[in-house]
Each structure stands twice: as structure tokens, then as C-alpha cells.
Amino acid sequence: MGRAMSRRLIIVVAGLGLAAVLGIVGAQERPAQVPVLQAPVLPRDGGVPSRWRSAEAKGTERRIDDRLTSPAGAVDPTDDEESRAASGDGLKSVLKRRSVEPESTASDGGPETAAERDADRSDKEQGARDAGSSRRPSMEPVAEPALSSPAPAETARKPAARPIAPRGIAPSGPAPGSVAESLSLRGQSARVRVEVVGPAAISFGKPAAYRIAAVNESTESAGEVVVAVAVPGHVAVDGMAASAGEARGAAPTGGSIEWRIPALAGGAREQLELQITANSDQPAGISVTWTMRSPELTASIPVLKPALDVQVGGPEDILYGTRQIYTITVSNPGTGPAENVSLDVSTGGNGQARRIGTLAAGAREQIRMELVARESGSLEIKATAHGDGLRDEAARTVLVRRAELAVEIRGPGLKFAGSTGTYEVAIQNTGNASASDVEVSVKLPAGSRYVGGVENASETAGRLAWKVKEIAPNDARKVAIEVAFEKAGDLQCEVITTMAGELASTASCPTKVEALADLQLQVNDPQGPKTVGEEVVFEIRVVNRGTKAAQNVHVVGQFSDGVEPIRAEGSPAELVPGQVLFRDLPRVEAGQQVVLRIVAKAESAGNHRFRAVVKCEDPDTELTAEDMTRFFGDEPVETARSGGATRR
């Protein structure tokens, strides 16, 4: 055992969740496969204490076994102590960027020699150089102070400052509404090193002290650190004391000790003091494992969900024939981009499509559509948006308002030529919009003439026209047109209304105008009294005041007793006592005047009558005209004498 047994040993273990196992084995023994690092402790009198150090880099539990290779120049922990002493090599591989200064006291309480300190320092410097090549620890003999006296503070080289990545999501997340190509999470836990320090060999039946230290080599606080110490059954645990946390377990006949440290601040060092007694000469192996609760690395990964929303904007009603702009808005109210978006718009069976493409979250697309109202009534504008797995639609019902004009004309059904009649024109708006600037035109029938009735009307070429400024819905305008019928025939009075240059409504009224012979009889007797025996002329005038010719007009002249006709003029006639019978007039045209004369003599004085009679079958007419003429004769005049009277 040589020099290796004359001093205490330090085992330094680096790794994540590593285990250090202490035990006493023969110097010449070397197992075929070593599952953990071992330092044999054989029961003997006056054993020299040694120490083992272990370091943890990541905080996850792991045990070092024979699958890890030793770095160049390192000695396997199962090599015999004599060969380790001869080579002068020890456990030179330590935790990367870490070196631990040895304690300065020996197991017997005396100070270490200068040579031992120099050797220990040289070994540590060599271990620091070798740390970057392997994580497999190596073992070196160093001097250690006695457990009975307080150890001076151990100074460790601080690692170079490195930025500590924040816990949680690294600041490389996607912008809102976009999809990230990748997600990067980085986390770092504290670096905890565990050391086991104690004698390399103990005496049977005598107490021995061991110190288990937990050191946080990082600046970050370590979570709950749990150190488990397994003690064989033939080794009694006489006592234990922890500088922090709670240690419990291990019956007097051995067992498991659990040292639980709630938190280990950055740079802190806590230790557990154990006192054990070997009750058998069997190797007293002590196994130490530890775990550390790593900080939780969480990531709030947003789930991007796109959505589509369609809105149709514009007035709810428009006027017929006008143009109106409607706006269709397609938006993405979701949190992710909507892809392959297209829009279908239909109005009354006519549809059109438009491709939008990708619509980012919160973005919107507006499409302006011009609508020309060509049909009155309700019109539906329907917009449907499609995307990958998305669909939304909106509809707007538009009322197309239109003025509907209904015109009506009433007039006489039968009229005679030469008479007048009245036509009543009514223009009504049956639509749901006001009718503005309505033009009214009335075509007068041929053979008629406008008399009056319409204010501000103009007459051109037999057409009467005027304007109505506005007619409200369900309102009407009425006018009366007076017309003179001048010719017979079947006449048609037509009214036409137009609005905005388009035909709105028409109506007509037929009127039958008939022509009629209207005969008038006039008798002209001689002026003043006439003498008896004097030829006197009696005149008969027949006038057709109608619009139709009178046919077969029969004229007769009659005298009272005392007057006899002598001859007739104007038409052939037959003279009979007291009468003149004119031959029937075959035709008396409308407006024509026929003059017939009868020459007669009075045979006696007195008032004599003359009568003229006119008869006609077409039209059925019978006219009579009569006049009286006074006739006087040459009678003797009686002269009254005195006493009497004279009478003529």
C-alpha cells in the first residue's frame, strides 16, 4: 500500500447524477468490471484517512461504470495503490473548468508537509489541463485535515463568466399571426459537485468520521438536492449532522441515509457529517448517489388558428336604374394565416370569383363591386369566402325601389260632330319610390280640337304635352281636357307617360263621333201691311246646320183663306188652292241653305196666315214655321154729318 495508505485520498467525480462508491478492497485486487468508482477501505488499526471528491455538471443522475474510458495519463480507480504511488499519478481528471484546493490538515491533526502540498498542487494543475479531454474522473492522493478539527475554507477557482440562458422559451418565437419555422428552447441548470472525505481504512470496532459535501459551483441556485448514502448492514451509523436540510434514515445496523437539501444557492457549500463503526472485518463499502431537481423548462407554444369573416357593406335600398358601390370585406380574425383564400360573389344568379391568396392574421381584403339595379324588388348579394378548411358567407338583401306609373283616361263614348267633350286623365304612382319629372303626352283624335283644361300645356301637331314635377308613392295627379269634336268618326284619344326617358305607362280612350243633319226652317213674310190684290212674296229658308246632309227634304207652303199662291220659285212645285207643294229636295248638304219663294195675292182684307212645313226622313225631322200678314183693301169712307157719324 506504501505511500497511498499514509495519507487520505480524495475522489473527485464529475458528471450529471454521478455516484461515488467508497469501499475497502485489497491492494492487489482488481475486478473484471467495475460498475462505479470505488476506493477500498479495509478495517485496520490506525487507518490513514483519505477523501473522495465528485463533481456534477448537469444535475441529472448518472453512475460512472466501466464503459467510460479514462483520460490519457489517468489511473483506473481499481489499480493497486502501490502502482499509483510509484507512478505519482492520481485522479487528475476533475470537473471541467474546476480545481479544488486541498485541505491542509492530516488525519492525525498535524499539518501537511511542504512536499505533500507541492505534489497536490501539481496534481491539481495537471487535472485542470486534462479536464477538457474526458469526463472520466481520475484519482490522486492528497493530504486532508483531521475530522476532529475544523477545516480551513476550501478555495475553488471560479469558472469564467458565461451568459446564462433564460429559462423558458428563447426569444426566437414567431411574430403574431405568422408560423415559425422552428422553436428553440434553451435551459441550464446549476452545477453541483459532491465530495466524500474520510479515512481510507478504519479500525474494527472503532468509530470513524466521514464528511459528505455538496457544492454548487455555478451562480444559479440549485433546486432540491437529494444525497443518498448506502451503508452496509455490518456497519453501524453512530451519528449524523447536516449543515443544511434534513438527513434521516440508517438504522444502527446500517441501511440508507437520505440527505435532502431544499435549495443550494449559487457558490454555496453544505455538508453532512457521518460517524460509523465497522462491526465486521468485511469491507465497509459506502455508496453515495445524489440527484438534483433541474429547473423546469417550459414553453408556451401558441396554437395558431386562422378564421374567415365576410361582411357586405352598402345601402339597403337603391333606386331602379342607378349605380351603387358595395364593399365586400374578407378578414382573418384568427391568430394564424388563412391560406388559399378565394371569394365568390353572386347577385340574382350572376356570380363572379376572385382569388385572394394568403390572408395574414388580423388582415383584411376589401373588394368594391358596382351594382346596377335593372330589376325592381328584392335583390340578394351573397358573398362566400373559402380557404384551406375555412368557409364563411354573408348576404345582404337590397331593395330596389322604383316608381311605377299607372295612367288612366276616361272620356265620352259617343259624341256628335260639332259638340264638345271632356277627357279625364289620372296618373298614379303605384311604386315605392317617388316619380320625378314625369312627362305626359296626349294625342288628340283627328277631327278634334283642344279647348282647354291643362295648365302650362303645349300643343304641337295635334299633341298636347305637359310635365309633372314629382308624384309621391301611392299619390296621383288628375287633369280634365276639354275637346271639341269637329268630324264624325271613331276617334281615339291616347295618353303616354315617360320618366327618365323611358316609357312608363300608356292608356287610350275611344270616342265615337257621329254626324247629324240639323235642319232649320225660317219663314220671311212681307214687311208691313199689304193691299188686297197686290203680289206679295213669301220666303221659305231651309238650313242644314248639322254635319250630315239631309236627304229627301219635303217642303210645303200653306195660306189661310183669302190668299192664293200665284207661282213658286227656287224649286219645282205644284200649286193647289191655298197651297204650294214643292218637289222633295233630294239632298241638303251640311251647312247648305235652300231658299224657296212663293208669290201670292190676297183676295180679301184682313190678317192672313202663312205656314211652311218641312219634313225629312234622314234625319227624321218635321219643322213648322208660321207668320201673319195684314192685308187691307179700297173700301168707301162714310162721313158723319151733324147729328150723325161717318164710317168708312
Q: What's the per-residue H, E or C state across 26-46?
A: CCCCCCCCCCCEEECCCCCCC
Give pLDDT, residue 447. 84
CA distance 470 to 437: 6
**259 phi and psi, to 5 degrees?**
-110, 115
pTM of the model: 0.46
Helix H or strand E encompassing 390: strand 390-401
Q: Which amino acid, one-letter code, is at 258?
A: E
Bridge partners, residue 209, by sequence: 275
Give pLDDT, residue 299. 79
DSSP string, 134-185: -SS--EEE-----TTSPPPPPPBPPPPP-PPPPSSB-S-PPPTTS--S---B
Per-residue model confidence as pLDDT tens digits over 557-615: 999 988 999 999 999 999 999 999 999 889 888 888 999 999 999 888 888 899 999 99
Top CATH class, 309-401: mainly beta
* SS3 state of residue 597: strand
Give pLDDT, residue 231. 87
The list of the chain residues with pLDDT below 70 reads: 1-181, 250-254, 349, 634-648
Length of the chain: 648
* SS3 state of residue 513: strand
Domain 519-632 has CATH 2.60.40.10: yes
Average pLDDT, the chain: 73
- CATH 2.60.40.10: which residues of the chain? 309-401, 405-514, 519-632
Give pLDDT, residue 249. 81
Domain 405-514 has CATH 2.60.40.10: yes
Helix H or strand E encompassing 118: helix 114-130
Nearest alpha carbon to residue 194 among 156, 227, 229, 172? 227
Domain 2-148+190-292 has CATH 2.60.40.1170: yes
Set of cell numbers at residue 24: 475497502
Give pLDDT, residue 190. 86
- CATH 2.60.40.1170: which residues of the chain? 2-148+190-292
What is the DSSP secondary structure assignment for residue 127, as one 8-state letter? H
Give pLDDT, residue 34. 29
Residue keyed to cell 396554437: 303
Give pLDDT, residue 23. 36
Whether the Cβ atoms of residue 142 and residue 49 lie closer than 8 Å to each other: no
**488 phi and psi, to 5 degrees?**
-80, 155
